């Protein structure tokens, strides 16, 4: 029982954070020295430090959202569906080899670490890539949560129609409502935490505070191959930053409009598949 209590407390912390910081937008560090022109190449050192800064913000906000929303919140939704499934489902085994109706410490920790934190890191990284194309303020988090739901909610998790657990727990409308709220909440929390963390993390420097602020990167170092991939991406970013055409296009305000149109098109294309998957889940007992 105390596991559920802890999860409830974590979700409440996430809700407070989302309400308190939901209106904050990401404040990136300067992208060029004072007086630089629109096509001037930024110093390589500044590009590297900005890239490291973005990684730190992504890890910190992703871990926070993964713990407070996807992790703890996901565990609560699973408990809700176990309760509403009725007595016939109790004790049966889910797709993830979990027992319906049984909330163990090991199972909860495993879910938070291997599902919640992974989802948190992936979604925070994506948010920082596209945040400049989202509405400012609280609307940005809501739009991002809706995008996560439409683009990934039914193709990956948690509303994947091929998941046999929807034949085991339910009813379908409870699963759709609960998981929809969870994904949107997660998107809002990612945006809120990213906005807050961006104001607390300075560019990497030689001072103790600047170094300590980037301590979340130690998590990436522990992931091994992921850190290698991110280092390769960083090298590509540095090379692209030295191309005047790329720099000018990225700084051009019209790129924001193009990005928003692209997101809208992707969402519209994905909407029929999302709707079909939801209807399939709603039709299950």
* Tens of pLDDT, residue by residue, the chain (285 residues): 788 899 999 999 999 999 999 999 999 887 766 555 555 678 888 899 999 999 999 999 999 999 999 999 999 998 888 888 777 767 676 666 677 767 777 778 888 887 888 899 999 999 999 999 999 889 999 999 999 999 999 988 898 888 887 877 778 899 999 999 999 999 999 999 999 999 999 998 888 888 999 999 888 877 778 888 888 999 999 898 888 777 777 777 888 899 999 999 999 999 999 999 999 999 876
Count of structural domains within the chain: 1
In which domain, by residue range, is 129 found? Answer: 2-15+44-282
Instruction: Give the span between the Cα atoms of 186 and 147, in whole angstroms.
Output: 11
Residue 23 covered by a domain: no
Buried b (16+ CB within 10 A) or exposed e, 42-55: beeebbbbbbbbbb
Q: What separation, in Å, do the N-terminal and C-terminal C-alpha atoms of the chain show? A: 28
Residue 26 covered by a domain: no
Residue 24 covered by a domain: no
> Could you give the dihedral angle defined by the CA atoms of residues 160, 165, 170 and 176, in that order, rounded to the nearest 10 degrees?
-10
Q: Are 269 and 152 in contact (CB under 8 A)?
A: no
Residue 272 covered by a domain: yes
Residue 121 covered by a domain: yes
Q: Are 277 and 154 in contact (CB under 8 A)?
A: yes
Closest by CA to 157, choosing from 111, 203, 93, 200, is 111
Q: Are 111 and 69 in contact (CB under 8 A)?
A: no
Alpha helices in the chain (DSSP H): 2-21, 44-65, 72-84, 105-111, 117-130, 138-148, 172-200, 208-212, 217-222, 225-241, 244-251, 254-282
User: Against a cut of 0.85, is the pTM above it?
Assistant: yes
Tokens of 120: 């948190």
Tokens 């992936």 correspond to what residue? 122
Residue 129 covered by a domain: yes
Instruction: Give the span between the Cα atoms of 57 and 195, in whole angstroms.
Output: 9
Residue 158 covered by a domain: yes
Q: Are 104 and 41 in contact (CB under 8 A)?
A: no
Residue 108 covered by a domain: yes
Instruction: Give the span between the Cα atoms of 153 and 155, in whole angstroms.
Output: 6
Would you call 117 helix, strand, or coil by DSSP?
A: helix
């Amino acid at each position: 029982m105390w596991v559920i209590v802890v999860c409830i407390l974590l979700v409440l912390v996430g809700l407070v954070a989302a309400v308190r910081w939901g209106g904050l937008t990401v404040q990136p560090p300067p992208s060029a020295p004072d007086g630089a022109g629109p096509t001037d190449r930024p110093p390589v050192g500044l590009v590297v430090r900005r890239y490291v800064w973005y990684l730190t913000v992504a890890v910190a906000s992703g871990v926070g959202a993964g713990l407070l929303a996807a992790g703890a919140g996901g565990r609560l939704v699973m408990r809700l569906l176990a309760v509403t499934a009725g007595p016939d489902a109790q004790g049966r085994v889910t797709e993830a080899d979990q027992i319906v109706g049984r909330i163990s410490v090991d199972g909860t920790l495993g879910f938070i670490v291997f599902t919640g934190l992974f989802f948190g890191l992936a979604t925070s990284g994506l948010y920082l890539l596209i945040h400049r194309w989202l509405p400012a303020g609280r609307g940005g988090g809501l739009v991002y949560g809706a995008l996560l739901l439409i683009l990934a909610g039914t193709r990956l998790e948690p509303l994947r129609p091929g998941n046999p657990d929807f034949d085991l727990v339910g009813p379908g409308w409870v699963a759709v409502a609960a998981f929809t709220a969870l994904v949107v909440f997660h998107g809002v929390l990612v945006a809120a935490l990213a906005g807050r963390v961006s104001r607390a993390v300075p560019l990497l420097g030689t001072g103790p505070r600047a170094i300590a602020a980037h301590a979340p990167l130690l998590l990436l170092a522990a992931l091994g191959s992921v850190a290698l991939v991110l280092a390769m991406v960083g090298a590509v970013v540095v090379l692209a930053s030295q191309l005047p055409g790329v720099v000018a296009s990225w700084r051009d305000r019209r790129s924001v409009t193009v990005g928003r149109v692209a997101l809208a098109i992707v969402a519209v294309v994905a909407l029929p598949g999302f709707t079909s998957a939801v209807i399939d889940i709603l039709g299950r007992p």
